[in-house]
């Protein structure tokens, strides 16, 4: 947002230089990016009064002019211009002057007569675009001679370039920034004049319909007897300082009021509204429309359109149509002052690549109540400048009025928050200066926020307003008075920390990977096409194909880590990662599961990996644990297993399928375990119970049986637990043998069984009875043969 300081002074009385003003605005929250004055390049150009004009004796197309330039002696200027006359006052570039384009002017002879400089056009002063001037710039009557042209035209003030945050669209206007300046410096804000006299005329009023909730308000007025021409100098200079080139008086006024008030306006040639009915509706998609800049654009759905009954005449909030622009012969104009949904305008501006001053304001959700203020202001200027006559009807379609917000904040809270000691009245004065209506009721501020401040909702917002206008630099830094207590970890955090400590104690190093992967990773770990794990959450704006979906398994992430270690010539690796997988379900958001993944390579590590699981099971006090062969496609068949907690699957572990290792260019076998942490945490027994040391001795028995190779030792252990009853204290597998001495398809399994009675010493008879029962059951259930 460009803020011409000369224009600012129309609304607030200040006498400070641009840098001081910029620093004050920055401290109050309106960040100033820079201070510039594009007209500083103009040097040694003054006003001159032409007192005499004679033809050049040696050139028919040249004229010799005598010019008064103030107290100095009159000078002679030789010129080819023809649009001046004696008595006119014009800009004169004297000897060693500089024009807007950087050209240097020096005195010199033209056909034998010394010219002490040159007369200037608006183009040479930077007031018009190249090729748009017909002659010299003729200044108003009674302009004094010898004055610096920048002073006369109001081009001396600097221009502040401000970065306005998206929550402050009210500052995208000269008036809004003037309000900030008046609050900072404690001066009175001068409001622009809005009065005008409407005219009665027998015409059919234009009709307006809003056919979409994306248009919040639409106002229209008609101006007749319009005379299109150039704008007066004060309008043109204000626009030029703000970076907008003047076009014609009616168009210039819409831009002037937009910059002044912050509400975009548009002027339609009434002849182009053939039906006399303006409709605001959404595009169906695919329509083509040529905008004022001459570009044909293809529209998408939900683009807001301004139409008559049959044709598009403008893109709402962006730009009018080529056919509806103001022309030299325009005599009747429809003024539009409307408000549209910010997100819709922003989306349309983006896909059409059409960024305008209007869209910059609309896409920040400006106040719908500005529409009437801006419409009154432009009507006042039209009447004041004699451009046309405003008719006495106003169309105002306003389906849902924006109302002020009500707040009550105690001064004690504000002072406590800021560490200040401001009075209630001081705070009220600050807020009222910002046009935030505030009344003092004891220690409470009763606040009504203006509708143009749609960023004030909670009491902290009010604290910020008081602080930034009072001055952050005026607030003494203090240390907050707080009672700090060290909080403990949540139960979930405690369990996770115990798990991490256990894994690190077993020699594992933590690995961290991205939660997003590529669909190709699922092919590398051999997941079939119909696997539910292929139903993945897609990322709308991925960094690339390799990061386009959220992972549903962590096997691929761990394989990447293991492969990277092997590629860097690490002989072995022992890694773990605690992360999340994302599973699609019927709700809008995916189910997030926290998973522990352990990855190993280096040698035959199947039982080492199983040992890690057993340590975790013991650490968390899990019981009712069993194993079953795994059928996971990523694992080696026959060298993998599921760990069951009751009937729930707790984990899957084993050697990775050789084809998966090949897909990751790994030479050594990899071993991976995936464990569902929520299942682990929910079943964890963290309470430690004291068990008294046994008073009575134990009795041990070894048992070795010959069983089929397909029989799992787990099946034997289930028989031990069931038949051993309360007397069987523990059992330990100490030998599994296969060899030539045994029949084909058989194996020898040996256990050590410990019996104990906590109340008395066991007898051999009691032990033998239970032990024989176990042996008989093994023979009957598993076909075991006692060795």
Kindly state the average pLDDT of the residues 635-644.
93
- C-alpha 731/C-alpha 713 separation (Å) is 12
Residues 339 and 428 in one domain: no
**pLDDT at residue 346 greater than cutoff 80:** yes
C-alpha 15, offset from chain centre: 39
| Residue 29 and residue 43 in one domain | no
Q: What is the chain's Cα-based Rg?
A: 43
State whether 28 and 52 are in the same domain. no
Residue 422 token pair: 């401001």
In a domain, 618, yes or no: yes
The per-residue pLDDT for 681 is 94
pLDDT at 386 (0 to 100): 93
Q: What's the mean per-residue pLDDT of the chain?
A: 92
Looking at the structure, tell me whether residues 603 and 560 fall in a common domain: yes
Do residues 211 and 338 both lie within one domain? yes
The pLDDT, as a whole number, for residue 635 is 96
Average pLDDT over residues 63-68: 94
Model pLDDT for residues 229-262, shown as the tens digit of each residue: 988 888 988 888 888 888 899 999 999 999 999 9
**How high is the pLDDT of residue 172?**
93
Residues with Cβ within 8 Å of residue 429, at least 6 apart in sequence: none
Q: Are residues 242 and 351 in the same domain?
A: yes
User: Tokens at residue 244, please?
Assistant: 């907008």
How far apart, in whole angstroms, are the C-alpha atoms of residue 774 and residue 781?
10
CA distance 587 to 581: 16
* Residue 481 included in any domain: no
Residue 429 is predicted with a pLDDT of: 95
C-alpha span between 352 and 363 (Å, rounded): 14
Same domain, 174 and 258: no
| 664 and 712 together in one domain | no
Binding residues: 455, 461, 464-465
Residue 157: the pLDDT is 74
CB 708 within 8 A of CB 746: yes
Q: Are 90 and 173 members of one domain? A: no
Q: Looking at the domain assignment, is residue 480 inside a domain? A: no
Known binding-site residues for Mg(2+) equal 455, 461, 464-465
Domain assignment of residue 445, given as a range:
405-474
250-259, 505-514, 608-617, 624-633: range with lowest mean pLDDT: 624-633
**Which helix (DSSP H) or strand (DSSP E) does residue 312 occupy?**
strand 312-315
| CATH number for 15 | 3.30.56.10
Task: Quote the tokens at residue 97.
Answer: 């002057």
- End residue of a domain, out of 474, 509, 533: 474
Could you give the CA distance from residue 517 to residue 304 in angstroms, rounded to a whole number? 39
Is 709 inside any structural domain? yes
Asked if residue 238 belongs to a domain, the reply is: yes
Confidence of residue 371 (pLDDT cuts 50, 70, 90): very high
Least confident of 182-186, 336-340, 657-661, 683-687: 683-687
Residue 769: pLDDT band with limits 50, 70, 90? very high
Q: Is the distance from CB of 605 to CB of 671 less than 8 angstroms?
A: yes
In three-state secondary structure terms, 761 is coil
Residues, the chain: 787
- Structure-token pair, residue 624: 């009712």
Report how far apart, in Å, the C-alpha atoms of 756 and of each of 480, 649, 695, 717, 772 are: 65, 33, 10, 18, 16
Residue 464 falls inside a structural domain: yes
Per-residue pLDDT at 240: 83
Q: How confident is the model at residue 586 (pLDDT cuts 50, 70, 90)?
A: confident
142 & 229 share domain: no
Predicted local confidence at residue 468, as pLDDT = 93
CA dist 367 → 171, 180, 356, 359, 364 (Å):
12, 17, 18, 14, 9
Instruction: Give the pair of three-digit tokens for residue 376.
Output: 């009154």
- At residue 613 the predicted structure's pLDDT band, cuts being 50, 70 and 90, is very high
Provide the CATH number for the domain around residue 638. 3.30.930.10
- Residue 224: burial class (beta carbons within 10 Å; 0-12, 13-18, 19+): middle
- 688 in a domain, yes or no? no
- Does residue 567 have a pLDDT over 90? yes
Q: Is residue 615 part of a domain?
A: yes
Same domain, 460 and 559: no
Q: Looking at 152, 168, 197, which one is the last position of a domain? A: 152
Q: What whole-number distance in Å separates Cα of residue 664 and Cα of residue 680?
A: 30
Residue 337 and residue 470 in one domain: no
pTM (2 decimals)?
A: 0.61
Q: Which of 637, 652, 683 is the last residue of a domain?
A: 683
- Give pLDDT, residue 741: 85
Integer distance in angstroms from the first to the last C-alpha of the chain?
95
Closest CA to 78 of 92, 64, 88, 95: 64
Distance CA(58)–CA(80), nearest Å, equals: 13
CATH number at residue 43: 2.40.50.140
- Number of structural domains (the chain) is 6
């Amino acid at each position: 947002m460009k803020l011409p300081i000369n224009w600012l002074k129309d609304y607030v009385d200040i006498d400070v230089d641009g840098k001081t003003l910029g620093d004050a605005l920055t401290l109050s929250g309106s960040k100033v990016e820079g201070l510039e004055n594009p007209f500083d390049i103009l040097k040694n150009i003054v006003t001159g009064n032409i007192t005499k004009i004679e033809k050049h004796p040696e050139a028919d197309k040249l004229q010799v002019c005598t010019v008064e330039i103030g107290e100095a002696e009159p000078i002679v200027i030789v010129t080819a211009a023809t649009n001046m006359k004696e008595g006119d006052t014009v800009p004169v570039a004297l000897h060693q002057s500089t024009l807007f384009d950087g050209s240097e002017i020096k005195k010199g002879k033209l056909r034998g007569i010394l010219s002490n400089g040159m007369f200037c056009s608006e183009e040479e002063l930077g007031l018009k675009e190249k090729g748009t001037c017909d002659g010299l710039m003729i200044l108003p009557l009674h302009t004094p001679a010898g004055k610096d042209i920048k002073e006369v035209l109001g081009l001396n003030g600097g221009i502040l370039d401000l970065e306005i945050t998206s929550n402050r669209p009210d500052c995208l206007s000269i008036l809004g920034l003037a309000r900030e300046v008046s609050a900072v410096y404690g001066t009175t804000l001068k409001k622009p004049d809005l009065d005008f006299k409407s005219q009665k005329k027998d015409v059919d009023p234009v009709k307006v319909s809003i056919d979409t909730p994306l248009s919040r308000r639409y106002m229209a007025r008609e101006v007749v007897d319009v005379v299109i021409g150039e704008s007066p100098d004060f309008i043109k200079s204000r626009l030029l300082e703000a970076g907008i080139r003047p076009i014609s008086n009616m168009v210039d006024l819409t831009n002037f009021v937009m910059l002044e008030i912050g509400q975009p306006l548009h002027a339609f040639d009434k002849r182009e509204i053939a039906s006399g009915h303006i409709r605001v509706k959404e595009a169906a998609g695919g329509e083509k429309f040529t905008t004022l800049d001459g570009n044909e654009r293809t529209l998408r759905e939900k683009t807001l359109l301004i139409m008559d009954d049959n044709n598009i005449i403008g893109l709402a909030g962006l730009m009018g149509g080529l056919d509806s622009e103001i022309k030299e012969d325009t005599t009747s104009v429809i003024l539009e002052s409307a408000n549209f949904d910010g997100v819709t305008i922003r989306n349309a501006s983006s896909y059409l690549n059409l960024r305008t001053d209007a869209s910059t304001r609309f896409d920040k959700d400006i106040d719908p109540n500005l529409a009437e203020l801006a419409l009154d202001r432009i009507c006042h200027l039209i009447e004041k400048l004699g451009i046309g006559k405003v008719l006495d009807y106003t169309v105002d379609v306003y389906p849902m009025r924006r109302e002020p917000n009500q707040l009550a904040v105690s001064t004690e809270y504000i002072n406590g928050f800021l560490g200040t000691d401001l009075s209630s009245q001081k705070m009220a004065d600050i807020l009222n200066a910002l046009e935030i209506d505030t009344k003092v009721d004891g220690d409470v501020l009763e606040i009504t926020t203006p509708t143009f401040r749609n960023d004030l909702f909670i009491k902290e917002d009010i604290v910020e307003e008081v602080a930034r206008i009072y001055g952050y630099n005026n607030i003494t830094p203090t240390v907050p008075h707080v009672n700090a207590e060290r909080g403990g970890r949540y139960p979930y955090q405690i369990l996770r920390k115990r798990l991490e400590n256990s894994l690190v104690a077993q020699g594992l190093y933590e690995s961290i990977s991205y939660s997003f992967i590529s669909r190709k990773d699922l092919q590398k770990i051999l997941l079939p096409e119909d696997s539910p794990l292929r139903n993945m959450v897609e990322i709308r704006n991925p960094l690339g194909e390799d990061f386009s979906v959220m992972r549903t398994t962590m096997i691929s992430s761990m394989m990447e880590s293991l492969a990277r270690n092997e590629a860097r010539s690490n002989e072995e690796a022992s890694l773990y990662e605690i992360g999340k997988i994302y599973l699609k379900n019927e709700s809008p958001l995916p189910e997030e599961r926290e998973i522990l993944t352990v990855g190993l390579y280096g040698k035959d590590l199947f039982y080492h990996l199983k040992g890690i699981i057993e340590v975790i099971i013991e650490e968390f006090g899990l019981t009712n644990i069993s194993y079953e062969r795994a059928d996971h496609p990523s694992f080696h068949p026959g060298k993998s297993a599921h760990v069951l907690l009751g009937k729930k699957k707790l984990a899957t572990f084993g050697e990775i399928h050789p084809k998966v290792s090949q897909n990751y260019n790994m030479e050594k076998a990899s071993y991976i375990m995936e464990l569902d942490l929520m299942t682990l945490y929910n079943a964890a027994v963290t309470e430690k119970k004291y068990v008294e040391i046994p008073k009575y001795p134990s009795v041990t028995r070894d048992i070795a049986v010959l069983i089929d190779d397909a029989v799992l030792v787990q099946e034997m252990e289930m028989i031990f637990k069931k038949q051993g009853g309360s007397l069987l204290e523990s059992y330990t597998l100490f030998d599994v043998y296969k060899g030539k001495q045994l029949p084909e398809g058989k194996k020898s399994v040996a256990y050590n069984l410990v019996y104990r009675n906590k109340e008395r010493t066991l007898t051999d008879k009691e032990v033998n009875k239970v032990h024989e029962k176990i042996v008989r059951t093994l023979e009957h259930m598993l076909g075991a043969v006692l060795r």
